[in-house]
Amino acid sequence: MPSGSPPVRTSKSLPTLVAELESMIGSQRPGYCYQCAKCTSSCTASRYIREFRPHEIVSMVRLGLARQLLESNLIWMCAGCQKCVECCPQEVSPYEVLVALRNIASEIGFIPDGYVRMTGTLLEKGLVQPEQTAATRNLEFVDRESLRLPPLPAPSNMERFSSILREAGFDKIVRRGKK
Amino acid sequence: MALFLGCTIPTEQYAFEISVRETLPKLGVKLVDMKGASCCGCPLRSVNETAWLYLSARNLALAEQMNLDVLPLCNLCELSFQEVKKLLASRPDLKERINSLLEKEGLNYKGDSQVKSLIGVLYDDVGLERITRSVKKPLNGIKIAAHYGCHTLMPSEYERPDDPWNPHKLEDLIRAVGAETEDYPEKLACCGALLVASAEDALAQVAWSKLKAVEERGFDAMALVCPFCHKMFDARQEAFSVAVGREHVNLPVFYYVQLLGWAMGISEKGVALNLNMSPARTLLRKARRRRS
């Protein structure tokens, strides 16, 4: 997991978090899984990351072992292609299970640095990435202005925009980044 | 329709934005920029679902205010809008909660703007017939592999522009500009872009394997519609080849609209061919010289 063992940054108890997790996933959904492993056969990531196996992740959640997953790097290794969602005969949606796990992991402080950075940029600019200089094939450097593109869009009241997101829970994430 | 650019396109994938702005209006698609637009929230769904719902609904509410349907160019934004639309339609409690956040910005989400996709607009709204008629310089003699990108196709529980396992629209669009194409076994293989933060080695394997397969099956180039796929396949071929320690690939990669615009007679600059890092421009120049 991202460096060290971060402190739990939520006042909620673990059972509360697990209850939240179950309501996010729809607690019955992992229960429908009969371990056919079609998700793992179709999975982009598990072809090259052997320990990443969506049907095993679903199984762990079903067996009440979500806690182990929350602190593991594994749940961040999904390529997000959603082929598992498409091919599951039971409509379990391993991807959605992962998203729920990631949300709870973030709540207790396990969150990869990339997401912390994106959150910070979003609160400042309204987008998750600032404008980049791009290179042409002849190695000239260009940006929106030199390409005569209109200025980047941004929320008209940036302060209000970011205060809404802070209220929705981004504050915690950004504080972790400043640690 | 309202043009929604998202984050990746207007901050780095300039070729996509330029070629869309140049090409679509010439096919009768009027594009209006969205003032006040922000991220669609999808990149942060993993860390905060509420923020994701709020951000997608926020941009949809802006489109509603403009009284327009919205065209998100990025596959991830487009899927995200469809997901949030469906979710909020079935959960009045969530919709109410999100609207109480939006209210603070003077916005309200109703859910009555249609979400369009680029493939849908080109294939279903503009239509193959008009596209074929607009082509002045057909791309004869070039064989191009279609790469749809995962989120164009799935999950099909949300409105998607094509069949999840057996899509054909991008291939039809490639033929409409005079190029050849055919089905290939790796057509639905993912670009791996979202592994970038967590598993760089796996990403290199995923992307290199797809590029290599397309090259080995005798295609001259690849055409796609997603900024993340383009970011992986166009600019990073050398880096991926080195990372996996295998033969190098050197495959021209295009946004489909670049090919379309070029075939319609728009200039190299108009479809931003100078911004492709793969040998895209070289291929098109060579093909045109051969013809003349």
Cβ within 8 Å, pair A135-B50: no
Picking from B199, B233, B185, the residue whose alpha carbon sits closest to that of residue A50 is B199
Rounded to a whole number of angstroms, the distance from the CA of A174 to the nearest CA of chain B is 12
Q: Pairing mode, if any, of strands A134-135 and A141-142? A: antiparallel
| Domains observed in chain B | 2-103 (1.20.1050.140), 131-291 (3.40.50.11810)
Rounded to a whole number of angstroms, the distance from the CA of A164 to the nearest CA of chain B is 7
Encode pLDDT of B138-167 as tens digits: 999 999 999 999 999 999 999 999 999 999
Rounded to a whole number of angstroms, the distance from the CA of B211 to the nearest CA of chain A is 15
Among partner residues A44, A102, A170, which is closest to B206 by beta-carbon distance? A44
| Domains observed in chain A | 14-107 (1.10.1060.10), 113-178 (no CATH)
| CB–CB contacts below 8 A, A to B | 180
Residues of B in contact with A90 (CB under 8 A): none
The pLDDT value given to residue A169: 78
Six-digit token pair at B94?
């969530």
What is the chain B residue with the closest CA to A117? B44
Tell me what the mean pLDDT of segment A120-131 comes to. Answer: 96
In this prediction, residue A14 has a pLDDT band, given cuts at 50, 70 and 90, of: low
Residues of B in contact with A86 (CB under 8 A): 153-156, 164-165
What is the chain A residue with the closest CA to B97? A168
CA dihedral B72, B78, B82, B85 (to 10 degrees): -50
**Of all helices (H) and strands (E), which one includes residue B98?**
helix B92-103
Which of the residues in chain B have pLDDT under 70?
A: none
Among partner residues A48, A127, A136, which is closest to B11 by beta-carbon distance? A127
Cβ within 8 Å, pair B150-A128: no
Q: Pairing mode, if any, of strands B2-4 and B70-72? A: parallel
Among the ranges given (A6-10, A117-121, B52-56), the one the predictor scored with the smallest mean pLDDT: A6-10
Rounded to a whole number of angstroms, the distance from the CA of B291 to the nearest CA of chain A is 25
Encode pLDDT of A141-175 as tens digits: 999 999 999 999 999 999 999 999 998 878 777 66
What is the chain A residue with the closest CA to B50? A168
Query: What pTM, to 2 d.p., does this model score?
Result: 0.94
Any residues with CB less than 8 A from the CB of A129 and at least 6 apart, and which? A118, A121, B7, B8, B11, B12
Cβ within 8 Å, pair B198-A73: yes
What is the chain B residue with the closest CA to A111? B47
In sequence order, what are the beta bridge partners of B254? B223
Question: Is residue B170 classed as helix, strand or coil in its secondary structure?
Answer: helix
Cβ within 8 Å, pair B34-A153: yes
Residues of B in contact with A152 (CB under 8 A): 10-11
What is the chain B residue with the closest CA to A81? B150
Encode pLDDT of A50-92 as tens digits: 999 999 999 998 888 888 898 899 999 999 999 999 999 998 8
pLDDT beyond 50 at A6: no
Residues of B in contact with A82 (CB under 8 A): 150-151, 154-155
Distance (Å, whole) CA B261 – CA B276: 15
The pLDDT value given to residue A178: 47
Picking from A52, A50, A61, the residue whose alpha carbon sits closest to that of residue A97 is A61
The pLDDT value given to residue A7: 39
